[in-house]
Structure 1
């Protein structure tokens, strides 16, 4: 961040493990460079636990605001829409434990409603291609209603 003062926020890939840190289960890769712009309205392009940001940019963007389950993604979108430069490093900087109820926390009717609230925010914002965003978020929101066994399969597909 010291070498790149124009960057307001930076993150990285993460690896995920179950019980033993040396037994990697998956890697959650994030988009790099211009791919962030291409994907920011499709999915959260940052691993929150790897993010470092400039406090002034976060404050200028309204800081973290309540949007159940999505406060971080909501902030990243607002920073992006304000014109801040966001980046990811093409490396793994965090090895995170998964399990312990991760799937339960990412499913259910409350999560479904939050996805729809986020979609409503995006559709009211100055964003490109609103019909495509609506379609993606309708799919995303309905995935939250899947049974745990099917949701686990979706996560395996999306985390390579």
Structure 2
């Protein structure tokens, strides 16, 4: 079987670690099913080390670099990158994660076998390096099970997804005014009748880093709670949530964001993921 060609879209910004970025890109270039194109969106100004790496990568025929004058966040960077893609399948990749070398081969085979529009997979979360395994994030694989989970949280690990560009076109991209933008994207995809799946295999090393507290702080606090509440109101307005669904997530999830941080950290790793 001849499969469609893949464009990988990733974003890099000023706080990214150059060494982690290099390993992430290398993992894309060593796939058993190689992407046809890798688009790196430079979200504002970056360090001299990353600029040097970008100069080196620009010599590779499959790597395309798009520079943005100012940092406007991940959703905007993804929209810019995906609109520039030349191929019908889009893969997400973060600038500090590491793909298993058969990630795309496994995903693209499953996408065609089960006639899927968006496919993700399982991840291993690590700290200092891939030998420092912290946890595994397991998500359901079947469409109906994923839809059940969608009422409470995202059924995908966002950095793992591979999807048909037509999904992005129909949805008119990520909503850069909402957060988390990926959860909103998947809900709108479901409402537009696109079919979901995850491969049961681990396909990506997800970097939590040595300081896990700093990693999850962005999902804690009043600002995150307000953003989450706005997202749930949007779900209610678009009739994805009924009032029961709305009040269920508001009363079960919003208070977790407002716990003292040491309590939030415990709950987040044990229950909220």
TM-score greater than 0.5 by the shorter chain: yes
Gaps of 5+ in 2: 1-107
- How far has the Cα of 1:130 moved from its partner? 3.2
Partner of 1:51: 161
In structure 1, distance between residues paired with 2:164 and 2:253: 30
Question: Residue 83 of structure 1: which of 168, 184, 193 is its match?
Answer: 193
- How far has the Cα of 1:133 moved from its partner? 3.4
Using the TM superposition, name which of 7-16 and 123-132 deviates more.
123-132
- How far has the Cα of 1:86 moved from its partner? 1.1
Partner of 1:71: 181
Partner of 2:90: none
In structure 2, distance between residues paired with 1:76 and 1:135: 19
Larger relative contact order, structure 1 or 2 (CA cutoff 8 Å, min sep 6): 1
1:104-115 equivalent positions in 2, closer than 5 A: 104-115=217-228
Q: 1:114-152 CA deviation, whole Å, 9 max, x = no partner?
A: 110111011112236431332123321221112221111
In structure 2, distance between residues paired with 1:68 and 1:61: 14
- How far has the Cα of 1:156 moved from its partner? 2.4
In structure 1, distance between residues paired with 2:233 and 2:225: 13
Q: Is the CA contact (8 Å cut-off) linking 1:103 and 1:151 kept in structure 2?
A: no
Q: 1:63-95 CA deviation, whole Å, 9 max, x = no partner?
A: 111244311111010000110001111111111
Q: 1:34-70 CA deviation, whole Å, 9 max, x = no partner?
A: 2101111111111011111111111201211124431
Is the radius of gyration larger for structure 1 or structure 2? 2
Deviation >3 Å, runs of 4+: none
Calculate the TM-score normalised by the size of structure 2: 0.54
Q: Is the CA contact (8 Å cut-off) linking 1:18 and 1:98 kept in structure 2?
A: yes
Q: Is the CA contact (8 Å cut-off) linking 2:178 and 2:231 kept in structure 1?
A: no
1:6 aligns with 2:119: no
Cα distance change of structure 1 residues 83 and 73 upon mapping to structure 2, 3 Å threshold: same
Q: 1:4-63 CA deviation, whole Å, 9 max, x = no partner?
A: 483111001111111121121111111220210111111111101111111111120121
Partner secondary structure for residue 249 of structure 2: helix
Please give the root-mean-square deviation of Cα atoms over the aligned residues, in Å: 2.0
